[in-house]
Amino acid sequence: MFSPDDIQARIKQQPFVPIRLVTTTGQTYDIHHPELVMVARRFIYVGLPSKENPIQAEQVTQVALIHITELQNLAASTLPHNGPPS
């Protein structure tokens, strides 16, 4: 399990490298901008980017830290997925 400090350190890394959160169910959340994430003690809130402005959230989803199994680096050009595995 990742701690809130682990996640925050990764999000604050300079330069920022986009990441994919992988959960215990296989669901993934792509994070392309650090301002679309808020880390709490037991949850991470991920803003799903709007099509009009990719650094503004269209909606927000809550993911329990206990269910995050992996943090994967993404290429900067990878398109957001944010949903159940296909």
Token pair for residue 34? 């650090």
Instruction: For 55-82, write each residue's pLDDT tens digit.
Output: 999 999 999 999 999 999 998 654 455 5
* pTM score, whole prediction: 0.80
Token pair for residue 30? 């792509």
| Residue-range domain boundaries for the chain | 4-73
Stretch (H or E) spanning 36: none
Q: Which numeric CATH code is attached to 4-73?
A: 2.30.30
Q: What is the pLDDT of residue 80?
A: 53
Q: Between β-strands 37-39 and 43-49, what pairing exists: parallel, antiparallel or unpaired?
A: antiparallel
Q: CB neighbours (10 Å) of residue 6?
A: 14
Instruction: For 26-43, write each residue's pLDDT tens digit.
Output: 999 999 999 999 999 999
Beta bridge partners of residue 29, listed in sequence order:
21
**C-beta of residue 35 within 8 angstroms of C-beta of residue 48:** no
